[in-house]
Amino acid sequence: MIRMIPRPTLPARDLERICRTRRHPTRTQPDYVVLMVLVHELKRVLAAVAHPVDDVLDLFAATQPYRDLLPPHSNYVAMDIDEHYGPQDVVSDEFLPFADDAFDLLLFTEAFHYLTEPEEGIAELGRVLRPGGTIVLTVPLVWEYDRRIVERRYTGPLLADLFEGWDDLSIEEIGGYAVAWATLSGRIVRGLSECGPQPLRHLTARLVPVASLAINAVAAGLARLERHWHVGPFVLPMGLMVVARAPMSR
């Protein structure tokens, strides 16, 4: 159901940096705007979980950057396909090797698009969630992909179709045109610092924070304006967020 390339564990310093920059991005990061929007949306939807939460699954948890945003719980399980991003409670290339009705809340950020059989994957998500349990799932839309593995891109209507039958389903965009522009521009800036001879790479790398700061400042203003001028059915978010509850009856 998921095919990924095994990877060795990163050095501790890299793991700390990745976790910190995901959870607390700075304005000099090329991906600052989209990460801030993602953190804001996760805070909002996780704080709104009203039912009791005892058991939480952080699926494909990586460095577990959003663990502190989870509602109060007694048992936290982090799962991934390897320990590339640090220690996990469960490491398996089998998708969801858990008993039925095992969790009250499932956090699944930026990895659903790797599933090769999404319909079967959603059935499995519903299986391990207790009736009425909540899933919070995010997927990218506008972003680079890896030519070596299967990745999918989902629109809102397609996700709604896949999650048909779930309760309290909501699908929201993560950012819009301005956020997408800033993130892709930041990726280009970072890419320029990764090419050419070493002296040139060293010089351009020092300019990345400055360029990112300028891009992020412009994007913040454009995002505010976008709320006023953008209407209609056509959208271009960086990604999408699904919040839904497992059906009470199966």
The H or E element spanning position 130 is strand 129-140
| DSSP reduced 3-state for 23 | helix
Same domain flag for 92 and 205 = no
Contact by Cβ (8 Å): 139, 239: yes
pTM of the model: 0.93
Question: Tell me: the pLDDT tens digits for 190-248?
Answer: 888 888 788 777 877 888 999 999 999 999 999 999 988 888 799 999 999 999 999 98
Q: What residue numbers bound the domain in which 223 lies?
A: 178-229
- Bridge partners, residue 75, by sequence: 55
| DSSP reduced 3-state for 148 | coil
What is the spatial distance between Cα 222 and Cα 219, in angstroms, rounded to a whole number? 5
- Residue 27 C-alpha from the chain's centroid: 19
Q: What is the DSSP string of 65-106?
A: TTGGGSPS-SEEEEEESSSTTS--SEE-SSS----TT-EEEE
Mean pLDDT of the chain: 94
Work out how many domains the chain is built from and give that number: 2
Same domain flag for 34 and 47 = yes
Is the pLDDT at 141 greater than 90? The verdict is yes
**Helix ranges, 173-197 (H):** 177-192
Same domain flag for 143 and 219 = no
Same domain flag for 20 and 93 = yes
Same domain flag for 159 and 42 = yes
Nearest residue to 112 via CA among 239, 248, 247, 236: 239
Task: Mention every residue, 6+ apart, whose C-beta is less than 8 A from residue 39.
Answer: 23, 25, 66, 69
CB atoms within 10 A of CB 205: 13
Question: Tell me: the pLDDT tens digits for 39-76?
Answer: 999 999 999 999 999 999 999 999 999 999 999 999 99
Same domain flag for 166 and 225 = no
Task: Mention every residue, 6+ apart, whose C-beta is less than 8 A from residue 211.
Answer: 189
Task: Mention every residue, 6+ apart, whose C-beta is less than 8 A from residue 125.
Answer: 96, 106, 108, 135
> Phi/psi at 42 (nearest 5 deg)?
-65, -45
Is the pLDDT at 124 greater than 80? The verdict is yes
Does 16 map to a domain? yes
Does 2 map to a domain? no
Same domain flag for 200 and 156 = no
Does 7 map to a domain? no
